[in-house]
Amino acid sequence: MNVKDKTIVITGGGSGVGRELVLNLLTKGARVITVDINESALLETIKFAGEKADKLSVHVLNITDRDAVELFSQKVIARYGEIDGLINNAGIIQPFVKVNDLDYTTIDKVMNVDFYGTLYMTKAFLPHFLKRSEANIVNISSMGGLFPVPGESIYGAAKAGVKLFTEGLHSELRNTNVHVTLICPGGIETDIKFNSGAEKNRKDENEIKKAVIKPVKPAKAAQIIIESMEKNKFRVLLGKDIKALNFIFKLSPRLAENLINKQMKSHVPE
């Protein structure tokens, strides 16, 4: 699906990859409707859109509130008439804490935002998409949803749920006009750890420079995601790190687990 002149809904458009998705789509000539729970972040996205902001509509929305999501979908469909695509980008991670020490409030929040938020948005728009001549759903999983990451087990479980949900949805819709794309990113140079409360300080630039495999910049990640949507790709591994780890995991799951544990040792308290 060529995104030019199409209307696309994006979750988490107030920062990081979500904001870059908004800006990239606007540059390509799409109309963008984006939601975020952070109103001030949405206003910043409008500023970044500049002269293209006339094709951008922003809405404060808690995607974990099923009734609010349903009402939102009804309102935007009524207003714009036709919605062509949905990118479920919004997500948070958990603090780097083992399951035994993780409180249920945090567990519920991570599962609700990462899995149920994706499910609610998809369910809300799917009936409309099935009536369109063509539509796209893009769901963002994670490296943590493919491989075991100590201290991020609940986040990983939520993103693994997104992965299997998306793959199942792809299978269910294979003979319809609705295309489904699964994106599995590795490390991306965003403030997700800080914004989610997993770390007290934003990522140090020197730490990024020292990394053996550099994280993908948000703008590049957004470009790959949108190109994947336009090409109706099924499953995309985004980043050199996740591709390398995927290769190692196929050879030896135990070796991959050992490498991940070694990498995470400084983050997860014993």
Determine contact, residues 141/183, Cβ cutoff 8 Å: yes
Can you state the angle between helices 66-80 and 117-129, rounded to 10 degrees?
A: 30
Can you state the angle between helices 240-251 and 253-264, rounded to 10 degrees?
A: 140
Query: Does residue 155 carry a catalytic annotation?
Result: yes
| Integer Cα distance of 2 and 157 in angstroms | 33
| Integer Cα distance of 72 and 35 in angstroms | 10
Nearby residues of 4 by Cβ (< 8 Å), 6 or more positions away: 28, 29, 30
Nearest C-alpha neighbor of 161 from the set 113, 215, 105: 113
Active-site option among 80, 104, 116, 155 = 155
3-state SS, residue 82: coil
Nearby residues of 202 by Cβ (< 8 Å), 6 or more positions away: 191, 194
Query: Among all residues, which ones are annotated catalytic?
Result: 155
